[in-house]
Structure formats: C-alpha cells, structure tokens
C-alpha cells in the first residue's frame, strides 16, 4: 500500500518563533514536513540549511507558494503578519497565524472574514494549550477531584527582558497574555466580564505594558485570575484550583521551551518529550486526602499533527478562529479596564 505524502508546510520567518517553536515541532509531528522557509537574512539562511535538511529557502512568500507548498505558517513580527496572512489567503493557501493573531479582536475578525470569503483554512498558533501543566490541569478537572470548580489562579513570570518588545505593537499582554488568556478560555469557557490592571514602562509612543493581573468571570460561573511579568527577575509557573471538594496546586516549569533552548528536540526524544520533572508534580487535596498528580505530556507537535489533518480534509482546525477572536476580545477588554478602572462586560 502506498504511503500518503506528508503535508508540505512553509514557514515565513526564521527568527526565534520559526526556528524554535515551529520548525522543531513540525519535524516531530505526524504527516507533515517543512518544505520551505522564507528569510532574507544570510545568517538565518545558513541556519535553515544546517537545521532543516531538505527545506528550500526563499526570499518571499510568493516565491515559496509558486514553488509549491500545501500550507504556510506566518511567524514574522506582528506589524507584517496581517499582510502576509492576507497574501496566503488570496493565493488559496491554508495558513497558520502566529500569536498575537491580530492587534485587536476587530483585526482578527477581518482576517477570519477574508478566510471565510475565500474558502481557505486559517488557524492560530495557540500552542500553549499543549503545555504539560495545562494538560495536567485539564486532567484534574476532568477527573472531578476538586468538585464544583470555583476559581483558578494562573501565574506565569518569566525572567526574560531580552525578548520584551516595546512600542505600540509590543507589550506583555499581546505576548504571554495571548497564551495565558487562551489557556483559561480553553479550560473554562468564554468570558462574561473582565477586570485588569497593567504595569507600564516608558513614556509617550514607547509606553508599553510590562506586566498584568487579569480577572475573568467566565460564563460557566468560574472565575480565573491570571498574572504575568517578564522584567521583574522572577521565574515562576503556578496553577491553583479551588472547588467544592478540595483544591489542586502545582509549581511547574516551562518544560518544552526550556528543552528547546537547551538544544533538545522532540523528534529525538519521542515519547519521553514534554513531561515536567517528578519533583514538580502537583498535589490534589480532595476529600481530606492529598495525592500527587503525575505530569501529563506537553506536545506542541500535536498542533501540527492536527493541522496537517485539517489541511488534508480529515479534521477541524486545531484552534478555531472564534476562540482566537475571543482571546483578543479579552485582551481588548483588559486594556479598556485598566484605562477606565471599570469591569468590562463582554456578553
């Protein structure tokens, strides 16, 4: 029996995103391959040739599409992403938009409408739904050990000032905020009300949010509290769940990102990839007893396995545009709440 050819994916951009968070996970996913990379930088072209054997390097998205790909991932800086997504859609090529998908929910709706009008698949790289700690929280909730869920606390502090981006298209809310808000909406459902406080640095056009605390009242009745920083010298990843039968607490690590930056690759480690260390496993306090909860597996490559199936017409896209728009609506509401001091109602 003939084996079906893998879905050919082109990556637009080979900075930190393309190099560390897309190419290695496409290589580890099932039924897909990196067919080409767009970059004009001589240094990055050399990296592609060394790190992605068999992938052709192009100067433009148009040239890569002309050469033949089945889908593309747009992982260039936010200010160039919209035009490239629209170019791919206009050429009839399914596309993954990196986060932040758009600067606002209105911008996301424009891209979603363009994809719908063209009949072209479009999805968003909310890969942190496949984080080990988030998958473990999902398993705890599905297991019912905390009973009726009341509230969830998520704290994600990174000591990473080098990657902080200033200016109107930067800020932590669009960066880590896109991820941690999406995680809460994926776990707990859509938001009804949002209240937020942002920490800012810089003046005038350079004024940028550098940290945040967001409270979301979900339609489900659960409340989530999300906080993050990048410039305060702390490295913390925590979850806490509170419910009618007990609670869950975990202090984990950013497992997959740390492994990638240490030079490890999921394609090399197979089923050993993506688990938090046993010393970091969470504790479930339920019905008067405490038990250790083993780490679920984190696997960003599962996004691309699902995306390949969607491109081949075998499944839905891994992240729906409605959910991506909902995330941006919460980020919009967070900015409004911080500016006005009010609780912003979404529905």
- Domain at 128-298+328-345, CATH class: alpha beta
DSSP single-letter state for residue 296:
P
Q: Tell if the pTM clears 0.85, that is, is over it.
A: yes
Query: What does the domain layout of the chain look like in residue ranges?
Result: 7-127+304-317, 128-298+328-345
Q: What is the predicted pLDDT for the residue at 3?
A: 57
Per-residue pLDDT tens digits for 113-139: 999 999 999 999 999 999 999 999 999
What strand order describes the sheet that includes 56-58?
56-58, 32-38, 7-12, 71-74, 95-97, 122-124
Q: What is the predicted pLDDT for the residue at 169?
A: 81
Cα separation, 251 vs 279, whole angstroms:
10
For 57-70, the DSSP string reads EESSHHHHHHH--S
Q: What is the predicted pLDDT for the residue at 1?
A: 42
Whether the CA torsion 24, 41, 73, 157 is positive or negative: it is: positive
Q: What is the predicted pLDDT for the residue at 167?
A: 84
E strand or H helix that includes residue 331: helix 321-340
Q: What is the predicted pLDDT for the residue at 2?
A: 46
Cis peptide before 284 (omega within 30 of 0): no
CA distances from 228 to 27, 198, 214, 300 (A): 30, 10, 9, 21
* Spans of the chain below 70 pLDDT: 1-3
Q: What is the predicted pLDDT for the residue at 163?
A: 87
| Residue-averaged pLDDT of the chain | 96
Per-residue pLDDT tens digits for 19-69: 999 999 999 999 999 999 999 999 999 999 999 988 999 999 999 999 999
**CATH superfamily of this structure's domain 7-127+304-317:** NAD(P)-binding Rossmann-like Domain (3.40.50.720)
């Amino acid at each position: 029996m003939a084996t079906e050819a893998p879905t050919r994916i082109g990556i637009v951009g080979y900075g930190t995103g393309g190099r560390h968070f897309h190419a290695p996970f496409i290589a580890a996913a099932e039924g897909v391959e990196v067919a080409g990379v767009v970059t004009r930088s001589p240094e990055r072209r050399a990296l592609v040739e060394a790190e992605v054997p068999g992938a052709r390097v192009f100067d433009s998205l148009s040239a890569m599409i002309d050469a033949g790909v089945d889908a593309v991932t747009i992982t260039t800086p936010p200010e160039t992403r919209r035009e490239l997504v629209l170019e791919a859609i206009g050429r009839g090529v399914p596309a993954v938009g990196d986060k932040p998908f758009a600067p606002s929910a209105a911008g996301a709706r424009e891209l979603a409408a363009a994809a719908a009008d063209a009949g072209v698949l479009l999805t968003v790289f909310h890969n942190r739904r496949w984080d080990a700690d988030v998958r473990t929280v999902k398993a705890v909730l599905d297991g019912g050990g905390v009973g009726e869920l009341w509230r969830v606390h998520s704290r994600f502090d990174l000591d990473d000032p080098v990657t902080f981006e200033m200016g109107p298209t930067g800020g932590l809310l669009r960066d880590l905020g896109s991820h941690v808000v999406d995680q809460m909406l994926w776990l707990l459902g859509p938001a009804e009300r949002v209240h937020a406080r942002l920490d800012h640095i810089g003046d005038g056009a350079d004024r940028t949010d550098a940290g945040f605390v967001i409270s979301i009242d979900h339609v489900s009745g659960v409340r989530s509290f999300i906080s993050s920083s990048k410039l305060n010298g702390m490295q913390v990843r925590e979850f806490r769940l509170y419910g009618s039968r007990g609670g869950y607490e975990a202090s984990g690590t950013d497992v997959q990102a740390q492994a990638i930056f240490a030079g490890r690759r999921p394609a090399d480690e197979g089923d050993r990839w993506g688990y938090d260390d046993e010393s970091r496993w969470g504790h479930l306090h339920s019905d008067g007893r405490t038990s250790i909860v083993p780490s679920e597996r984190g696997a960003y490559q599962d996004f691309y396995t699902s995306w390949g199936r969607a491109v081949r017409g075998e499944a839905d896209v891994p992240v729906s545009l409605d959910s991506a728009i909902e995330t941006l609506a919460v980020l919009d509401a967070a900015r409004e709440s911080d500016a006005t001091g009010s609780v912003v109602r979404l529905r």
